[in-house]
Amino acid sequence: MFVVALGYVTAQPYFPKRVLKKWVIEDLRRTKVLAVAVSEISSSIWNHRLTPEGKHELFVKLLSAIKSEVEGITGDHQGIYFNVALLLLDDRDESLNVVCRANHDRPLTSYRKTDLLVSDVLSTGEALYVADCQFSDKPYRAIFAIPLVFGPEHSKMFVSGVVSIDSSERNHFDGLEDEIETKTLPYISMLKLVITTDEALKLGKWRQNGQKR
C-alpha cells in the first residue's frame, strides 16, 4: 500500500489536470451570454427597436463574460481586482464616455480623449498593453485595451471605442496578450454588433420620421 501511495504521489503532478467545476460552469455561462445576445439582437431587428435598457443589459452581460474569460486565462488569482469597461468615442467633443462597467464600484464618466492611455488604440486600431501604471484615483495597475474597429470606411478603419480590461496587479497580462485577444474576440464582435444594430435602428427610425414629414 505504501509503495502504491508513494507511486501515486510521485506521478500525480504529471496526470492531466481536472477541469475545475467553477470554470465548467463559467464556460457554459459565457456560451449562454453569446446565445442570448444573438437572440436579443435578432428580436430587436425584427421589432425595429432596441431600448436603452436592453442595450445596457447586453453590454453588462458581455463585459462580465470578458472579465470571466480573462480571470480564467490569468489563473483566477485570489484578491486581484479586475474590471472591464466599455468606452465609446463622442466625435462632437473628442471625448471618451464610459458607458458600462462589469463592476459597479466606480461611476460612469466621461474623459477627454487625450487624457487616457487607452486612447492610443483609437489612432492605431491595435490592442494596447500597459503593464505598469500608477493612478492616485484608480484601483488598477495594469491595463489591456482592445479597440472596437469598424470598417473599412473610405479605405480607413474606423475605431468607435475601446474595451479596457483592468487589473490591480502590475504585469498581470505579461505573455498572455495574444490569448486574451483571441478568447475575447467573440464578445468584442458581439459588442460591435450591438452598437451597429442600435445605430442602424436609430437611423432607420430617423429616416421614417423624415419621410412622414
Domain positions in the chain are: 17-212
Query: Over the stretch 139-168, which tens digit does the pLDDT of each residue have?
Result: 889 999 999 988 765 556 778 899 999 999
Dist CA 37 CA 126 (whole Å): 25
Element (H, E) at 117: none
Report pLDDT for 99: 94
Query: Over the stretch 76-114, which tens digit does the pLDDT of each residue have?
Result: 666 788 999 999 988 777 788 999 999 888 888 888 877
Helix/strand/coil for 142: strand
pTM of the predicted structure, to 2 decimals: 0.80
Q: What is the mean pLDDT of residues 18-42?
A: 79
Report pLDDT for 213: 43
17-212 falls under which CATH superfamily?
A: GAF domain (3.30.450.40)
Residue 17 has pLDDT above 60, yes or no: no
How do 95-101 and 142-153 pair as beta strands? unpaired
Average pLDDT, the chain: 81
Q: What is the dihedral of CA 111, 117, 123, 128, to 10 degrees?
A: -140
- Over its C-alpha atoms, the chain yields an Rg (Å, rounded) of 21
Query: Over the stretch 165-179, which tens digit does the pLDDT of each residue have?
Result: 999 999 999 999 999
Lowest mean pLDDT among 19-23, 59-63, 187-191: 19-23
Distance of CA 213 to CAs 48, 156, 200, 207, Å?
20, 35, 20, 10
